[in-house]
Amino acid sequence: MVTTAHPGASAGASPTATVRRALAVRHLGPNWYASVMGTAIIANAGATLPYRFTGLRTGCTIVWALSFVLLAVLLTARAAHWIHHRDQARTHLLDPTVAPFYGCLSMALLAVGGGTLIVGKDWIGTEAAVAVDTVLFTAGTLIGLAAAVAIPYLMVVRHRIAADQASPVWLLPVVAPMVSAAVGPLLIPHLPAGQAQQTMLYACFAMFGLSLLATLVMLPVIFARLVTEGPLPLALTPTLFLVLGPLGQSTTATNKFADFAPGVVPAPLDRGFLAFAVLYGVPVMGFALMWLALAGAMVVRARRRGMGFAMTWWAFTFPVGTCVTGAEGLGNHTGLVVFDWLATGLFVLLVTAWAIALTHTLKGVLSGRLLAAPR
pTM: 0.91
Q: b/e for 20-57, b at 16 or more Cβ within 10 A? A: ebbebbbebbbbbbbbbbbbbbbbbbbbbbbeeeeeeb
Closest CA to 315 of 158, 121, 167: 167
- Residue 265 DSSP SS3: strand
Helices 56-84 and 86-93: crossing angle in degrees, nearest 10, is: 110
SS3 content of the chain, % helix, strand, coil (to 5): 80, 0, 20
Of the candidates 309, 293, 329, 306, the one whose C-alpha atom is nearest the C-alpha of residue 49 is 329
Q: What is the model's pLDDT at position 46?
A: 95
| Residues 51/344, Cβ–Cβ less than 8 Å | yes
- pLDDT at 6 (0 to 100): 45
The span from the CA of 32 to the CA of 25, in Å, is: 11
Q: How far apart are CA 141 and CA 176, in angstroms?
A: 8
Question: Quick check: 341 and 264 in contact, CB under 8 A?
Answer: no
Task: Identify whether the C-beta of residue 250 lies closer than 8 Å to the C-beta of residue 288.
Answer: no
Strand-pairing partners, residue 262, are: 265
d(CA 369, CA 354): 20
**What span, in angstroms and rounded, lies between the C-alpha atoms of 235 and 204?**
34
List the chain residues with pLDDT less than 70: 1-23, 375
Positive or negative, the CA dihedral 95, 112, 142, 198 is positive
CA 339 to CA 279: how far, in whole Å?
A: 15
- According to DSSP, residue 326 is labeled H
